[in-house]
Amino acid sequence: MAILQQLDVQAVDVRKPEDLEECHGLIIPGGESTTMTKLINEIEMHDALLKFSVDRPVFGTCAGMILMAAKVDDGRVKTLNLLDIEVERNAYGRQIDSFIDELDVTTNGQAFSMRGVFIRAPRIKNMGDGVEVLASVNGEPVLVQEGHHMAAAFHPELTGETRIHNYFSTLKGEMSLA
């Protein structure tokens, strides 16, 4: 949430479906996607997230990307099908294989470079025609957008770089994010 504070964007923790009512956008963070699936089911958040995402932007990082995908290579993960992408969990290896790479990013026609932190990151295996690639590494998409939803295979919040979160905050005007 520190990165959002740098942008003067109000952020709240979302722990139950009712918490979404005060949000104008949502960031689904990294973590362990099978555990996140269990928690989403346990607190009956799945349908609330689907309803929320119809007209409000969602940004998923790492495990958040996995949850937003249309298809994932692990049947234990119940996706939200918010982005027309197919992902492979932990595609870049185990925790010890984590890495930082330089990214060329383009948002709103503005190009910039930044570092991307990849921790047991997912890989996009396939994507639909409506998905726009905003950044790639070695020819593989790692930051994508479809409509008012975005997803990153990396952790932009770990670099101190604010431009990706700032861009997300403009997708639906001024918002408070969770």
Tell me which residue has tokens 């998923």: 60
- For residue 149, pLDDT beyond 80: yes
Burial code (b: 16+ CB inside 10 Å, e: under 16) for 14-36 equals beebeebeebbbbbbebeebbeb
pTM: 0.91
As for how many domains the chain has, the answer is 1
Give the three-state DSSP class for 15.
coil
177 within some domain: no
pLDDT of 129 reads 98
Tell me which residue has tokens 């009512």: 21
pLDDT of 102 reads 95
The domain in which residue 48 lies consists of: 2-169
pLDDT of 176 reads 45
- For residue 173, pLDDT beyond 60: no
60 within some domain: yes
175 within some domain: no
Task: Quick: pLDDT tens for 48-101.
Answer: 999 999 999 999 999 999 999 999 999 999 999 999 999 999 887 777 778 899
178 within some domain: no
Left if phi > 0, otherwise alpha if psi is -120 to 50, otherwise beta: which for 8?
left
Give the CB-side neighbour count of residue 26, counting CA atoms within 13 A. 26
Average pLDDT (156-176) is: 81
CATH number of the domain that 7 lies in? Answer: 3.40.50.880
What residues act catalytically?
62, 155, 157
CA gap 159, 8 in Å, rounded: 18
